[in-house]
Chains A and B, each alone.
Chain A
Amino acid sequence: MPTYPPTHSIQPETLTMKKLTLSLILLATAVVAQAQITITDAWVRGTVPMQQASGAFMQLSADKDTRLVAAKSPVANVVEIHEMLMDNNIMKMRQIPGLDIVPGRVLELKPGGYHVMLIELKQQLKGGDVVPITLVFEDTATKKQFTQEVQAPVTALGAGNMPMKR
């Protein structure tokens, strides 16, 4: 009566095992895989000689809940994340501990809002220079930190309030 070869009764089971194994691998990968960060329109405001500070601006997005917690750059001794706010026509600038990036939303670092503050500059930043900035992110779920570097071109001081058109 059994017309099916024995393999037929075994194969579905093997497939299930394979699927399960594959799923486990995928799941494990998903857990350890860090968020994909997309950084666009990065730029740094140029400086004059002896000027000690400037700001970097960019747009950030991520495919997982992530937090920008720090930044580093070879052009500055100190790099901080800052917030600019207007309070009754008074400009205030403050260091903030970090900025959350929510999937599907672009986090804008732009004049009048947030910026990466470059302090104790080691050199003048001239139009056309490129400033490497290493951004430190933290996966909101796992608290695991990872870095991503961005090459931010310098918009010469006085040449506008936006990334230089290339």
Chain B
Amino acid sequence: MALTIGTQTDSDFGTGVLARARMRAALVPDLLVEAQRIANTVVSGWHGRKRRGSGDSFWQFRPYDVGESMARIDWRRSARDDSVFVRDQEWEAAHTVWVWADNSPSMLYRSEAAAVSKQSRALVLAFALTEVLSRSGERVGWPGVTNPIASRRAAERIAAEISMANPSAEVAFPATEGLRGRSELVIFSDFLEPVDNTIAKINAVARQGIRGTLVHIIDPAEHTFPFRGRTEFRDPETGSTLTFGRAETISSAYINRFRARQDVLAERCRKLGWNHLVHTTDTLASTALVAVHTRLSGMRG
């Protein structure tokens, strides 16, 4: 019988997270339709080189030049006119995106207002993002686990790697040694480490020329502080406890402090040109996914 608001869940690695991530990813096209209503285009412009080349997307029709392969003639278009036309595709190039989810014990927290733990939500988002990215041909990697993979089944492979590698629970920030320039880094974490540590690491990554996106996963209990009465708080990482006679009296002080941390992080990101997103686990995972996707597409949404 659970008497408390929050609980520490079991680690969610390998237990259906991928399946759920697939589900979220499958929803994304629908979400994109929705997003297209706001921003005219989300997918079509992404990494397009705005020039003729090899790719799948249509770029232009142009008159046939003598000497070109007859196979390139678009007969349907040509039939409408006297001259002969060739169909050009847009040149598209793949991009490298590093996806990483925090796995520290604090991520295992779940309060009664949330459906899943923070870790579960972070993994789902990470895999869903991987799925979406790999579907559009990007190379996706997981720092410390795999190098970037260019495959339609990248999410599956990364999941398998992770469950085999069982990454250390103590790491609160991805290993940045293997990252090379001009790539994207997406971090799903609760960022409960001291803010200065986090900012120092972000600065280090940014210096390598990597563009980053921080997705701040928050449990609703962490930003509403619904505790009342005599309460003993225990830190799941250090195990230290703290007792308050009337938890409700410190509520506003805590909330202010929590917001301030968040704001500091967001301000830093803005200065670096990074994205900072906040996602609470009592909202739908799909909304976060769309938001991340939109940011990666370069839209400020």
A, B from the same assembly: no
Task: Give residues in A with beta carbon < 8 Å to B.
Answer: none
Task: Give residues in B with beta carbon < 8 Å to A.
Answer: none
